[in-house]
Amino acid sequence: MVMSSYSRIAFAIMALAAVTVNAAKPKVSIRFPKDGATFPDGQTQTYVMGNVIPPSAAVTCNGEPVAVHPKTGGFVFMRELQYGVNRIELVSGDVSAVCTVKRQLPVPKAASAISPYTLREPTGVMTGESVRLVCLTLPGRKVYAKVGKESIQLQESADHPGTYSASRAWKNTTEKPLPVSYYGNGLETAEAGTLEVRNEWPNCEVNGPRYEVRFRSLPGDGDTLGFPETGLVLKTTGYSGNHIRCRVGDRDYWIARDYTRTAEGKPAVNEIPDPSTGFAPYPAAGKKPRDILVVIDPGHGGSDTGAIGPTGRMEKDANLLQATAIGKALKKAGFKVEYTRTKDVAVGLYERVRLAVKHHADAFISVHHNATAASTDPREVRHFISFGWNERGLGLAAALHPGIAAVSGVSDRGVRPNSLAVCRNPAVPSCLIEFDFINEPEGEYEIFNNTSRRKAYADAVVKGMLQWLGTAEREKKAAEK
């Protein structure tokens, strides 16, 4: 078909108008929650996070207006969760994004239920050792524990009605583990674990990776008490579930069975070697920056993205940006610097710790950016915080924190103890710093776009390190007087 010049001009104008309309058409994305997500019955709300392009576009959620960051289009707001299916629909112009999430219905608890409190898992003890039998149920009942064929009546606590307990010691060994259950009048029997009694247990040998294996005060989630070296032989005195109880000197330690092997015939140790032997004092008094090696740890990496912001920016990238800035500033000030990663690669948590030990580092700083749990509004809790675990790490964090907090521009939560994998290093002073909240729109924008604040953070770390060394020098001189 042959077109006239006027027709061609009109067609071009129509095509241009169509392009303009399409270009102006907004795009809405929901980053959190994921479509099809399920929340527990006790969770009454969740934040909804995402962004709109262009940032000037108006957005509503189920008909209610949503505040949008003027530069990134990022948004976050709280949404109540009803039992069952919840439909979240974001609309901008004639486009929408929808996610459907579910809040689980509460599971009714039987009025006749008994909850075992002790011996819930297979348990091993020494002959003559007192065993505590405890369960929880309705007050004012007759309740018993059955161990093998023996029934033991439990007594209700006067201070805690509904808590029943008794202590019992077995003088003889058991040929095989005895089944344990709790029962009572008008109550459903609750099956628990098993009980095994022995005069002695075979010694065990530690065969797990260095610093990944921990001594705990209790099986499972007890406090960290130390880090046994590979090849250390320990006297075993029982077990609970997947954790073995060991006796060293006059103290009990628990260690995960997965990190041990049987060591029958090998003598057990009477004391635990100090893993910090051979490392510099903390901090290293009398040293200049050129003598100090700092390991900078950009958290996450590779397939481990860390937290995600409203526009989809990832914590692993934010951590690398800030860590690189800190490393450059430290080098400029004369410090020696190593990184746990310089690219977008995955590095194991304990591999980061082992790298600091391998280099005999004087300090280890892990760089992170925070995010809230789904039920918490990040706009209300956005803050800056530092963590350490032992005396070494908390001392380092305390030296670095004030200067960083002064330039953060957000609420200061201070220095707090936290049993984080990278903070528990017994040999190298180690801390973890959460610089800002990436799942809050303004926080995400500042993290990736405020280069002057990123540099100010790095400079504050340098000042903190110098303060740390100066504190050590002053303490050294005071001790010499």
Domains within the chain, CATH numbers bracketed: 26-103 (2.60.40.10), 115-198 (2.60.40.10), 204-262 (2.30.30), 289-477 (3.40.630.40)
pLDDT band at 67; cut points 50, 70, 90: very high
User: How far is residue 346's CA from residue 316's CA, in Å, rounded to a whole number?
Assistant: 10
User: How far is residue 381's CA from residue 471's CA, in Å, rounded to a whole number?
Assistant: 32
User: Of 436, 450, 443, 441, whose CA–CA distance to 74 is shortest?
Assistant: 441
Do strands 95-103 and 38-39 pair parallel, antiparallel, or not at all (unpaired)? parallel
pLDDT band at 276; cut points 50, 70, 90: confident
Residues 6 or more apart whose Cβ sits within 8 Å of residue 102:
36, 37, 38, 39, 84, 85, 86
DSSP state of 457: H
161: pLDDT strictly greater than 70: yes
Task: Point out the least confidently predicted range of 3-7, 269-273, 360-364, 459-463.
Answer: 3-7
Task: Point out the least confidently predicted range of 104-108, 198-202, 282-286, 434-438.
Answer: 282-286
DSSP state of 209: P
Average pLDDT, the chain: 92
Look at the block and give the residue holding tokens 């999430």: 101
Most distant CA pair in the chain: distance in Å? 109
Per the model's pLDDT, the better-predicted residue between 471 and 174 turns out to be: 174
- Given this model, what pLDDT does residue 15 score? 46
Residues 6 or more apart whose Cβ sits within 8 Å of residue 132:
118, 165, 166, 167
- Given this model, what pLDDT does residue 375 score? 97
Average pLDDT score over residue span 208-214: 91
Per the model's pLDDT, the better-predicted residue between 477 and 353 turns out to be: 353
Q: Is omega for the bond preceding 65 within 30 degrees of 0, making it cis?
A: no
Average pLDDT score over residue span 375-395: 96
Residues 6 or more apart whose Cβ sits within 8 Å of residue 18:
none
Question: Does residue 191 contact residue 121 with C-beta atoms inside 8 Å?
Answer: no
DSSP state of 347: -
319: pLDDT strictly greater than 60: yes
For the segment 334-344, what is each residue's pLDDT rounded down to a tens digit?
Answer: 999 999 999 99
User: Of 86, 39, 78, whose CA–CA distance to 439 is shortest?
Assistant: 78
348: pLDDT strictly greater than 90: yes
For 391, 451, 472, the CA distances from 396, given in Å and listed in that order, are 9, 25, 11
How many C-beta atoms lie closer than 10 Å to residue 18's C-beta? 10
Average pLDDT score over residue span 119-141: 96
Amino acid (one-letter) located at 235? K
User: How far is residue 338's CA from residue 354's CA, in Å, rounded to a whole number?
Assistant: 13
pLDDT band at 1; cut points 50, 70, 90: very low
For 118, 199, 379, the CA distances from 167, given in Å and listed in that order, are 11, 19, 50
For 211, 295, 311, the CA distances from 375, given in Å and listed in that order, are 33, 35, 20
- Given this model, what pLDDT does residue 23 score? 55
User: How far is residue 363's CA from residue 425's CA, in Å, rounded to a whole number?
Assistant: 10
| H or E element that contains 328 | helix 315-332
pLDDT band at 273; cut points 50, 70, 90: confident
404: pLDDT strictly greater than 70: yes
Nearest-Å Rg of the Cα atoms of the chain is: 30
Q: Which long-range contacts (CB under 8 A, 24 or more apart) does 242-245 make?
A: 243/216, 243/219, 244/204, 245/219
pLDDT band at 221; cut points 50, 70, 90: confident
pLDDT band at 478; cut points 50, 70, 90: low
User: Of 62, 68, 82, 74, whose CA–CA distance to 30 is shortest?
Assistant: 74
14: pLDDT strictly greater than 80: no
Helices 451-480 and 391-408 pack at an angle, to 10 degrees, of: 140
How many C-beta atoms lie closer than 10 Å to residue 415's C-beta? 23
pLDDT band at 16; cut points 50, 70, 90: very low
Average pLDDT score over residue span 16-26: 56
Q: Is omega for the bond preceding 283 within 30 degrees of 0, making it cis?
A: yes
| H or E element that contains 50 | strand 45-53
How many C-beta atoms lie closer than 10 Å to residue 385's C-beta? 22
441: pLDDT strictly greater than 80: yes
How many C-beta atoms lie closer than 10 Å to residue 160's C-beta? 11
Average pLDDT score over residue span 242-249: 95
275: pLDDT strictly greater than 70: yes
Phi, psi of 147 (to 5 degrees): -120, 110
User: How far is residue 174's CA from residue 151's CA, in Å, rounded to a whole number?
Assistant: 16
Beta-bridge partner residues of 318? none
88: pLDDT strictly greater than 50: yes
User: Of 354, 325, 336, 323, whose CA–CA distance to 292 is shortest?
Assistant: 336
106: pLDDT strictly greater than 70: yes
User: How far is residue 388's CA from residue 395's CA, in Å, rounded to a whole number?
Assistant: 8
2: pLDDT strictly greater than 50: no
pLDDT band at 36; cut points 50, 70, 90: very high
Counting residues of the chain whose pLDDT is more than 90, the rounded percentage is 85
For the segment 354-367, what is each residue's pLDDT rounded down to a tens digit?
Answer: 999 999 999 999 99
Question: Does residue 183 contact residue 114 with C-beta atoms inside 8 Å?
Answer: yes
Tokens for 42? 């006790």
317: pLDDT strictly greater than 60: yes
